[in-house]
Amino acid sequence: MDDKKQAIIKFAVCVSLLLAAYIPTIIWMYNRWIASESYYGHGFLIPIISLFIAWQRRESLRKSKIASETSGIAIVASGVLIHIFSAALKIYFISGFSFVFVLYGLILFCFGKEAARNLIFPVFFLLAMIPLPLVVIGNLTVKLKLFVAQIATFILNRAGFPSMRDGSIIRMPNSFIAIEAPCSGLRSIVSLLTLGLVFSYTMKVSYLKKSILFISSLPIAVITNVIRVTVVAMVNDLYGEKIAMGAFHDFSGYVMFAIAFAGLYWISRILSPSIESSE
């Protein structure tokens, strides 16, 4: 049996043991993914995307020199210790992070530096599937709700809709709109940041331009959410809550995400050279 086959078998056994050890963390992530009003409904897609990216690199991986790195053992040992303490304290967020580092350590130990370098993005992209702690989600949601309410109120007043902000409630002459957690924009931010990360990875440009594209996901998500809240508030004041908070509310969410996606794509086209000019 050659070194590559031995390394694959060793890695498969280690990953199986790893998954068994992380069952409580995996269950926690799954429950957060499927929770009502989850901000991580895309969590199921992250491992699939990572596997697809790894598969795209199969030729480079096939040519990689197998040379086990003992430094991988140190990474695995450190990650497992962090997992044990985190799982014991039920801090599954940290445990989830340790899983990704342990996986990287296993690749380094079983296959060597070349393979680990080729797989560094698909492995660490898995961090995008790990939900933030609920306390962090709660704090971010409150701050975003107040921010969106403030900006939307400013726009409404300038657009001829006299408005007043009362916390996260926008009061208008004929109606009011309460900005709840789903309308804070956090879900859009998390989803678009993940999408921006994939976009930036696929671009054949400098790391600076990749970073610009990724960072641009944040203002795009915030701006489109503010526009959505503002438009819903206008419709609510003009036509009533039944229309504004019905199908229009959900439809506007899909439209704004499509606009955000288009904005992200537009920025990627500006940052990357056109195919025509490169040929």
Mean pLDDT of 93-100: 94
Mean pLDDT of 181-207: 87
Residues 80 and 188 in one domain: no
Phi, psi of 91, deg, nearest 5: -100, 75
Residues 125 and 150 in one domain: no
Alpha carbon distances (Å) from 279 to 30, 273, 274, 275: 45, 10, 9, 6
Q: Look at residue 243 and give its three-state secondary structure.
A: helix
pTM, to two decimals? 0.85
pLDDT at 210 exceeding the cut of 60:
yes
pLDDT at 53 exceeding the cut of 80:
yes
Q: Which structural domain range is residue 162 located in? A: 135-278
Residues 70 and 199 in one domain: no
Quickly state the pLDDT bin for 273 (edges 50, 70, 90).
low
pLDDT at 170 exceeding the cut of 80:
yes
pLDDT at 122 exceeding the cut of 90:
yes
Residue 200 near residue 225, CB atoms below 8 Å: no
- Would you state the pLDDT for residue 274? 52
Question: For residue 68, what are the contacts with CB-CB under 8 A and spacing of at least 6?
Answer: 7, 109, 110, 111, 112
Question: What value does the mean pLDDT of the chain take?
Answer: 89
Alpha carbon distances (Å) from 259 to 140, 145, 208, 216, 265: 23, 21, 24, 14, 10
Residues 141 and 122 in one domain: no
- Would you state the pLDDT for residue 41? 86
